Chain A
Amino acid sequence: MTGTGAAAPRTGWPAISGVVRRLPEYLTIWVPLLLSAAHLVSFSLWTIWISFTPSTLVPVSGWVGLRNYTAVLASRNWKIAFDNLLLFGSAFVLLSLVTGLILAILLDQRIRGENVLRSIFLYPLAVSFVVTGTVWSWLLNPGLGIQKLVHDLGWTSFRFDWLVDRDMAIWTIVIAAIWQSSGFAMALFLAGLRSVDADIIKAAQIDGAGPIRTYWHVILPTLWPITITVVVVQLQFAISAFDLVRALTNGGPGIATQLPALVVYDLMFQRSQLGRGAAAAVLMLLILLAVLLPYAAWRYVQRRRATHA
């Protein structure tokens, strides 16, 4: 009896001392990861919860169902922001794809100074959206920038006043966004072009295909997985665009360049409508999921195909 009594702690003790000995290791592994994971999950749930409460100035408990959502969706602010997002998102993504692809093809022609040129096309990515927005707000300001310059040069009927034009102002954001991030598309496309099998290209040339036909029929089709990645990353940026608009137009003239992220900020911190602000944030998340979930599904299928092959 005493034997088993002594044996029990003997088997238990090393396990406990092992845990104690390895405690620093467990803490180092788990604390940062748990903090990160816990804040992601709990903060998301928290915001979702607030979006169903009647919170205004401070978060309060209570349940108003979808009232915040219907209020946001019915507001003129959100409608304009959503329409702008559709226009800005598609124009920006499409044009930065085209620009990035053209730049990548040009750089792929074994030209001199390729490294310098690549650095020039990529440096805007190192600059903050606040700086980009501020600089472009000067260039596009009709009284200060390009229009003023052309007027001073003598062509006084020249007009380039999109920044103060309600219908065209959203395009100034497209311009600045393309300037800032088309280099990203270029970098990915260039890597894609460089990894095209040289034998395929050679075969196409032997078959008598000219450079344009080779690009169009042989090289570009291999780039479509990269294209999808670029589209998803750029859309992700477009959906949450905030700094750039804040610095360039601040949503104006009026609310002509309003975007969802600005509506969220406005509701939360300027109008003290926390419930509605949270609802608008959740709507942003839903828009993002509408892009990311199909992408994730596509990636999953691709991976399965790759492992089966």
Chain B
Amino acid sequence: MRDRTFAPSRILIYLLVSLFAAAYLAPLAVVVLNSLRTNQEIAQASMIGWPKQWAWSNYLAAWSGFCVAETCAGIRPYMLNSALVTIPATIFSTMLGAIAGYAVSLWRFRGDNWIYGIVTLGLFLPQQMRLLPWTIVLRDTGLINTLTGLVLIHTIQGLSFTTLFCRNYYIAIPHELIRAARIDGAGFFRIFWRIILPLSAPILIVTVIWQFTHIWNEFLYGVTFTTGQQQPVTAALIALSAAIADIPQHGVQSAAVIIAALPTLLIYLLGGRYFVRGLTAGAVK
């Protein structure tokens, strides 16, 4: 089975693998092509087809033209919202997770196993169990319908993942390294800064990619805790399809979908290896 001698079976393998690849790529191809067709052209034919004329103006309309509810600013404000939530929440949760992971794996303190165990339960607890408490907390702190509120939620909830990722990575660092540094008088922060952080590049990349992808793609909190102009782009996409259901503008909508998916797709293309490592690390809890 692992040799190249039996030709017909190899042809079959390549045929099958190409068919699968085509099936996985088809939805993307359809949307990309649609984003370049005019709305009329799509209305006359189907969503699946080759552009007769290249309607690049769809992207301009999607970015800054079409209307959701009463505001006609395109998808741009919602993309900005998503960025303003995703970037700070990714940085905060990664930094705090790295320090927490280092503390529970190498520094060790009383109760570390207990608290680590509870924190990792966050990987399993459904979001629905936290919806009402978050609503009440955000309302009472005045953070409901603000981007700051979403940053807070994603930072605290992200800690479960980031702490797990970093802890599992740091646990492989020899304890003697830390012990020797402590005997030399180095403290918690100095060891983190001088020894741990320089070793952390791979796991920090994995964590940043994982957090960015998850927070950017998150929908439930976005749609529950923000409305109108404060919504992230995932929630805006749903509002958009509801808003223009009666006057279909599938060309513009396709362009909006592509724009909304672009940041995470680009990160995947640039850091695919790390993306997969995050997937498997998240699975083998």
Residues of chain A having any CB pair with chain B under 8 Å: 22, 24-25, 28-29, 32-37, 39-44, 46-47, 50, 59, 102-103, 106-107, 109-111, 117, 119-132, 134-139, 141, 144-146, 148-149, 152, 179, 183-184, 187-188, 191, 201, 210-211, 214-215, 229-230, 233, 236, 239-240, 242-243, 246-247, 261, 264-265, 268-269, 274, 277-278, 280-282, 284-285, 288, 292
User: CA–CA, A33 to B260, complex, Å?
Assistant: 33
Contact B46 A145 (CB under 8 A): yes
User: CA–CA, A165 to B264, complex, Å?
Assistant: 33
Contacts of B129 in A (CB 8 A): 43-44, 47, 281-282, 284-285
Contact B30 A139 (CB under 8 A): yes
Contacts of A191 in B (CB 8 A): 280
Contact B130 A43 (CB under 8 A): yes
Q: Beta-carbon contacts of B1-21 to A below 8 Å, as 1s and 0s?
A: 110100001100110110011
Contacts of B96 in A (CB 8 A): 32
Contacts of B2 in A (CB 8 A): 109-110, 201
CB contact between A288 and one of B4, B49, B126, B133 (< 8 Å): that residue: B126
B213 to chain A, nearest CB (A): 6
Contacts of B157 in A (CB 8 A): 36, 39
Contact A269 B280 (CB under 8 A): no
Q: In chain B, residues 114-151, which have Cβ atoms closer than 8 Å to a Cβ of chain A?
A: 115-116, 118-119, 121-122, 124-134, 136
User: CA–CA, A152 to B46, complex, Å?
Assistant: 8
- Does B173 belong to the interface (CB within 8 Å)? no
Query: Known: A139-B47, A277-B132, A281-B129. Is A36-B220 also a contact (CB below 8 A)?
Result: no
Q: In chain B, residues 250-285, which have Cβ atoms closer than 8 Å to a Cβ of chain A?
A: 250, 253, 257, 260-261, 264-265, 267-269, 272, 275-276, 279-280, 283-284
Contact A274 B132 (CB under 8 A): yes
User: CA–CA, A277 to B126, complex, Å?
Assistant: 14
Contacts of A210 in B (CB 8 A): 1
A175 to chain B, nearest CB (A): 10
Contact B1 A214 (CB under 8 A): yes
Contacts of B16 in A (CB 8 A): 102, 106
Contacts of A131 in B (CB 8 A): 234, 237, 257, 260-261
CB contact between B279 and one of A46, A47, A125 (< 8 Å): that residue: A125
- 9 CB contacts below 8 A, A to B, read A40-B121, A102-B20, A125-B275, A138-B250, A146-B48, A152-B46, A239-B126, A281-B128, A284-B128
Contacts of B219 in A (CB 8 A): 128-130, 242-243, 246
Closest to B213 in A: A126
Contact B156 A35 (CB under 8 A): yes
- Does B230 belong to the interface (CB within 8 Å)? no
Contact B159 A36 (CB under 8 A): yes
User: CA–CA, A239 to B219, complex, Å?
Assistant: 16
Contact B224 A269 (CB under 8 A): yes
- Does B188 belong to the interface (CB within 8 Å)? yes
Contacts of A46 in B (CB 8 A): 132-133
Contacts of B261 in A (CB 8 A): 127-128, 131
Given contacts A36-B118, A139-B30, A152-B46, 7 further A-B contacts (CB under 8 A): A43-B129, A120-B24, A130-B217, A134-B241, A148-B47, A210-B1, A261-B126
Query: Known: A107-B17, A179-B27. Is A44-B265 also a contact (CB below 8 A)?
Result: no
CB contact between A29 and one of B99, B224, B264, B276 (< 8 Å): that residue: B99
Q: Beta-carbon contacts of B188-219 to A below 8 Å, as 1s and 0s?
A: 11000000000000000000000001001111
CB contact between B13 and one of A111, A149, A284 (< 8 Å): that residue: A111
Contact A24 B189 (CB under 8 A): yes
B241 to chain A, nearest CB (A): 6
Closest to B192 in A: A28
Query: Known: A43-B130, A131-B260. Is A138-B47 also a contact (CB below 8 A)?
Result: yes
Query: Known: A25-B187, A146-B48, A269-B224. Is A127-B264 also a contact (CB below 8 A)?
Result: yes
CB contact between A37 and one of B47, B115, B128 (< 8 Å): that residue: B115
Contacts of A184 in B (CB 8 A): 279, 283
- Does B100 belong to the interface (CB within 8 Å)? yes
Closest to A45 in B: B133
